[in-house]
Amino acid sequence: MTNPAPPRPRRVVAISGGVGGAKLALGLQLVLPPGELTVIVNTGDDFEHLGLKISPDLDTALYTLADIANTELGWGRRGETWNFMQAMESLGGETWFRLGDGDLATHIERTRRLGNNETLTAITRDFARRLGIQTTLLPMTDAPVRTRVTTDIGELDFQDYFVRRQCQPRVAALRFAGAEAAAPTAQVCAALTDPAVEAIFLCPSNPYLSIDPILALPGLRELLKRAAAPVIAISPLVGGAAVKGPTAKIMDELGIDVSALTVARHYGELLDGFILDERDATLAPELQALNLPVCLADTLMKTLEDRQRLARVSLEYAQKLNPRSAQ
């Protein structure tokens, strides 16, 4: 007779940006019972391009959880065709932001429905349903919030900095235009205050570009502080370096030590626990000196099995911090 699996939290909230966060969200979706995961996604990266409303992080989460993401490119849909972009190029149009034909359909339909006064939350819920996703996928807000990057060549929209200029300008500051006038949606507030939620994860997304826009929403930090469930961050750094994206570059240019310890201090009193990559184990005593419980794990997610493994480790760690989940 086999021993039963150790109890793990069932209803879970993940706060996420793009690729790194979506990887963990997929792992959680695969190991949790259907419908027990809610993912709150950054919309600070959203922008308007070619007259279309584009939500890069939200779409990355959508495609990843629907198992249609283009993992080779790291964005867009698997098996894309590029007829639209080829036609745009032949006409002299802007092609710096690549939109595959299937991806384009997402943006056209979202733009149409936003123009008909549907909310981004309602549209995302319907897209997820049509793609067979049982996880609840929520944009952080229905109001426009835009990440602006102050650089050595002036202030840039995030996608201009990130895609068009390939993160080359030197970063001096970040701000989230519109955040002060926005608000987390009722659905986001309900997810974070749900007494049945047993763990809240800050995914291994860029803390400054992907998680901070969410935390900048009025009242969001207070919701996390009052949450009954433990709030746990997974370090986005492995061996003192970013797995993907400009996290380390931006930290360095902002004069911030590129370290998981810095990330933990950045989140500060929001946290009840921290998952540290085992390659950074020497930082564990300093983290514990902050009265922050630490879990060492292999946080690198190269394969689907890696994502599920980290999800299980995260859930088991949350259970230790929240004995209620074992009941």
Task: Kindly list the structural domains of the chain, giving each domain's residue range(s) and its CATH number in brackets, ordered by start.
Answer: 12-326 (3.40.50.10680)
Average the pLDDT over 149-162 and give the result: 95
Percent of the chain with pLDDT over 70: 96
Q: Which residues contact 310 (CB under 8 A, 6 or more apart)?
A: 24, 27, 234, 297, 298, 299, 301
Give the mean pLDDT of the chain: 93
What is the per-residue pLDDT for 8? 59
Tens-place pLDDT, residues 202-250: 999 999 999 999 999 999 999 999 999 999 999 999 988 887 778 889 9
User: Dihedral of CA 159/162/166/169: which sign?
Assistant: positive
pLDDT of residue 244: 74
Residue 157 phi/psi, 5-degree rounding, is -60, 150
Per the listing, tokens 């006038």 go with 181
pLDDT of residue 6: 47
**What would the mean pLDDT of 39-52 be, rounded to a whole number?**
97
Residue pair 230/321 in contact (Cβ under 8 Å)? The answer is: yes
Token duo for residue 281:
């184990």
Specify the pLDDT at position 211.
97
Number of helical (H) and strand (E) elements in the chain, helices listed first: 13, 14
Q: How many CB atoms lie within 10 A of CB 81?
A: 11
Summarised one tens digit per residue, pLDDT across range 85-134 is: 999 999 999 999 999 999 999 999 999 999 999 999 999 999 999 999 99
Confidence of residue 7 (pLDDT cuts 50, 70, 90): low
CB-based contacts of 182, cutoff 8 Å, min separation 6: 141, 143, 144, 145, 217, 218
Is residue 220 within 8 Å of 214, Cβ to Cβ? yes
Is pLDDT at 324 greater than 50 in this prediction?
no
Look at 50-54, 245-249, 299-303 and tell me which has the smallest mean pLDDT: 245-249
pLDDT band at 9 (very low <50, low <70, confident <90, very high): low
Q: Is the pLDDT of residue 58 over 60?
A: yes
